[in-house]
A and B are shown apart, each in its own frame.
Chain A
Amino acid sequence: GDSVTQMEGPVTLSEEAFLTINCTYTATGYPSLFWYVQYPGEGLQLLLKATKADDKGSNKGFEATYRKETTSFHLEKGSVQVSDSAVYFCALRRSNDYKLSFGAGTTVTVRA
Chain B
Amino acid sequence: DGGITQSPKYLFRKEGQNVTLSCEQNLNHDAMYWYRQDPGQGLRLIYYSQIVNDFQKGDIAEGYSVSREKKESFPLTVTSAQKNPTAFYLCASSIEVTGETDTQYFGPGTRLTVL
Contact = CB atoms under 8 A, between A and B. Distances in A.
B109 A42 contact: yes
Contacts, number: 54
Given A43-B90, A44-B90, A96-B98, A103 B106 contact: no
Contacts of A102: 42-44
A45 interface: yes
A38 to B, nearest CB: 9
A86 B41 CA distance: 14
A103 B4 CA distance: 23
B109 A100 contact: no
Contacts of B48: 98
B68 to A, nearest CB: 14
> Taking each of B56, B90, B98, which has the highest tally of chain A beta carbons within 10 Å of its own beta carbon?
B98
Given A43-B90, A44-B90, A4 B102 contact: no
A105 B39 CA distance: 10
A82 interface: no
B97 interface: yes
A46 interface: yes
Nearest to B41: A104
B103 A49 contact: yes
Given A89-B42, A98-B48, A44 B98 contact: no
Interface of A: 4, 32, 34, 36, 42-46, 49, 51, 89, 91, 93, 95-105
Given A49-B103, A51-B100, A104-B42, 9 more contacts: A42-B109, A43-B106, A45-B106, A46-B105, A93-B102, A99-B58, A100-B104, A102-B43, A104-B40
8 contacts: A4-B42, A42-B108, A43-B107, A46-B103, A49-B103, A98-B31, A98-B48, A98-B97
